[in-house]
Structure 1
């Protein structure tokens, strides 16, 4: 069982209207689990209550290592927008409140494995969680990418999906641990850590070789892209329908 470390929190102020909107989107994105907003608490369908807080220290590293749930929702993800160099520490979706993910997807490798489904990724079988429709969504991504042969070199072979592990050099659980992430072909991938940069340092030089058309296909199906981050990881996509969807991309759902 994974251990959870609680962060120092700031709870004095009521939620702003924008925070309420973001929490509402979270609830709508995970209808199998989340029920409603009650004051400054997120109420689950099983009655569990999670506090809606920020990490009181507000430092960049603390928000990543021990975020409150509101820290996870703070930065708007630029779904389906043009490709731009992200500003300093603009990492929408990179901050994750781990108790939420453990409760939905599983708090151990064994729990997560019980929900994995095989997905045919252009002749390669990858394992993705069926929870929250993630596997079905990735199949829809594959079907759409298959209609664009010019994109196939970027996506295959996949560099991996499920693997219970920490993010390299950190105490944070990787989204790959939950079977809700996929890494694409490393031959066309760029990653800030590979370039020798330190987390949180100014001047990380952005690099990307993936086309916008591919990114937008993933985003329309609920997957955010690590190439939208200042700490860029262009091979990485993770299933985060509270941040991106067909609706947020301005198109009708299929």
Structure 2
């Protein structure tokens, strides 16, 4: 009987330490920073850790304002589809402490990891700053090279709306993903943003989805690990951010 309970205990301990699927995705997406998972904590390469799941039920606003890392996977990101009108905000829920661990805890720390590249030399020839963390600068160069071979995209990509900018999201106290140097806004003149269209900042407003960006262009960004703000109910169609864990 003692042996039976001994094996039950071993099984329970092994099961309790099983790495959740979404944590496995994070480890795969950020291999230089995330090295392990133990006791409901994400373990980073510097031996620090963050709680993965706080086990709290949250309203939509609480998910935006105070998410844990597990909440970032609350909604499934669907790749660009002409027949799909987004009903959720997959990727818009972000744990600020997590991204500060990945990219830098302050403006100066993020800037110390930045480099300058030429965006689309043929169609735009614009200098932009991006982070070198996880080789994102190299990924953006490959993305840029592929887009540069599609002249039909010129009016969408020839003027970058923004990359690195340490700031808060308009109307909130949340740090923008532009603060980390892994986000690209393409030409704002051919884009739609829910706050512009409703002329408000009310998260509960009823929205009529709008988009002008070709989905072929979006699919190229997704190929390189960038999610698209046009796939959000609260749409931001100029916006692309490097979130490979949501595409795995």
Q: TM-score, normalised by structure 1?
A: 0.85
Partner of 1:52: 52
Partners of 1:91 and 1:167 lie apart in 2 by 15
Structure 1 unaligned residues grouped into runs of 5+: 1-13, 249-254
Cα deviation digits, residues 181-207 of structure 1 (max 9, x gap): 011101110000001244322521100
The answer on whether the counterparts of 1:164 and 1:176 sit within 8 Å (CA) in structure 2 is: yes
Q: What is the root-mean-square deviation of aligned Cα atoms in Å?
A: 1.8
Partners of 1:198 and 1:224 lie apart in 2 by 22
The answer on whether the counterparts of 2:80 and 2:231 sit within 8 Å (CA) in structure 1 is: no
Partners of 1:154 and 1:63 lie apart in 2 by 32
Partners of 1:144 and 1:233 lie apart in 2 by 23
Q: CA deviation at 1:75?
A: 1.4
Bigger CA drift: 76-85 or 137-146? 76-85
Q: Secondary structure at 1:152's aligned position in 2?
A: helix
Q: TM-score, normalised by structure 2?
A: 0.87
Partner of 1:210: 213
Partners of 1:54 and 1:138 lie apart in 2 by 34
Q: CA deviation at 1:225?
A: 0.5
Larger Rg belongs to: 2
Q: CA deviation at 1:50?
A: 1.3
The answer on whether the counterparts of 2:171 and 2:201 sit within 8 Å (CA) in structure 1 is: no
- Which residue of the other structure, out of 157, 160, 163, is the alignment partner of 1:158? 160
Partners of 2:33 and 2:96 lie apart in 1 by 15
Structure 2 unaligned residues grouped into runs of 5+: 1-14
